[in-house]
Amino acid sequence: MNHSVALHKPKKKLDDRIAHLLSLADVAVNGHRPWDIRVHNDNFYPTVLKCGSLGLGESYMDGWWDVPQLDEFICRVFKANLQDRVISVQDYLFYLQALVLNEQCPKRAYEVGEKHYDIGNDLYERMLDKHMIYSCGFWKNASTLDEAQEAKLDMVCRKLELKPGMRVLDIGCGWGGMAQFAAQNYGVEVIGITISKEQAALARERCAELPIEIRLQDYRNLSETFDRILSLGMFEHVGYKNYRTFMKKVRSLLKEDGLFLLHTIGVNRSQKTIDSWIQKYIFPNAVLPSAKQITAAVEGVFVLEDWHNFGADYDKTLMHWYKNFHSNWHTLKKKYDERFFRMWKYYLLTCAGSFRARSNQLWQIVLSPRGIPGGYRAHYK
């Protein structure tokens, strides 16, 4: 009897430790509120304590726990900074690897394309808006995802002060939605580059009748000159060791009177790695920049004209993506299995929670080579 009690004491301690940590975020184990988790497998406790964020995500994928409102659960976790209280061996290994290696070097540039963007255009067609924009929408005057993304695209064009005949470079062009919108509505010529074969193929098809060229190309291999340059949701793949290289390359491609718009997710503290679960399952080699890291990369290269934060809009964008994904699962499940469903759900809803907690930001930054004579006027609506 005593031996049996002794065997269960370590498990009870693990349960108590997890319960205590979650209580700091006002989350209960097996509670009844929408953000309280339900544990189905007791392996959940040692796995999370040993593996941190990676263990939390993998145990969710395996069905060891559930929560009615995953996005709100994660929001509370971030607000309580619980992610800083459980650091795993894997987290340290990812950090050491990022210190030693340049994980976003040219040889590895196409890895995220193969592992994330190439998994299936059918998935993205059913999840995204009609323009297939895979970055934050602008919701100020929008009520639908299509409206929010079109408002964002138009705002980008206005911020860049596009005029007919201009030659524009779109770094990380995705499925061509931004290039298509700019060419159709502002009469510009666009070169779009991507590191995804599937994106490039569909973008060429969608932009076939327009003055748009889509290339499968790394930004470091460009050598032309452009009136305007933009990058929407690509800087997250550049890597902290390459931020200044990126800025210098963009500067070398931009005319003296040109403008560059950078649209990127950002974080509140400088870091060298991304969340370990996101790194393994969603965006290999990704890292989110801080304001300090961006301004250090820009210093002496560009003049900072405008900095716009609408990160709270990413919460709403991600929730709409999840709604589309979930409502189309009956079609998608013919190709993707149940574990993929739980993985993708976890990805979209945990990201929504992180933006809701204001742990992540979304920045649009306008830069010029030498400063706009008379000053730059921001083009918001």
User: Catalytic residue positions?
Assistant: 351
Q: Is the CB of residue 21 less than 8 Å from the CB of residue 86?
A: yes
If one counts every other C-beta atom within 10 angstroms of the C-beta of residue 145, the result is: 23
Write out the two tokens for 94.
Answer: 């990812």
What is d(CA 186, CA 212) in angstroms, rounded to the nearest whole number?
A: 13
* 219 Cβ contact list (under 8 Å, min separation 6): 171, 193, 246, 249, 250
Q: Is the CB of residue 120 less than 8 Å from the CB of residue 175?
A: no
DSSP string covering 10-40, please? HHHHHHHHHHHHHHTTT--BT-SSTT-BEES
Paired sense of beta strands 254-267 and 360-368, if any: antiparallel
Write out the two tokens for 374.
Answer: 């008379």
What is d(CA 309, CA 358) in angstroms, rounded to the nearest whole number?
A: 11
What is d(CA 211, CA 203) in angstroms, rounded to the nearest whole number?
A: 13
Q: Which residue has the tokens 């255009």?
A: 121
The CA radius of gyration of the chain, in Å to the nearest whole number, is: 22
Nearest to 175 by CA among 237, 141, 126, 222: 126
DSSP string covering 77-132, please? HHHTTGGGT---HHHHHHHHHHHHS-TTSGGGTTHHIIIIITS-HHHHHHHS-TT-
* 312 Cβ contact list (under 8 Å, min separation 6): 355, 356, 358
- Name the residue type at position 167: R
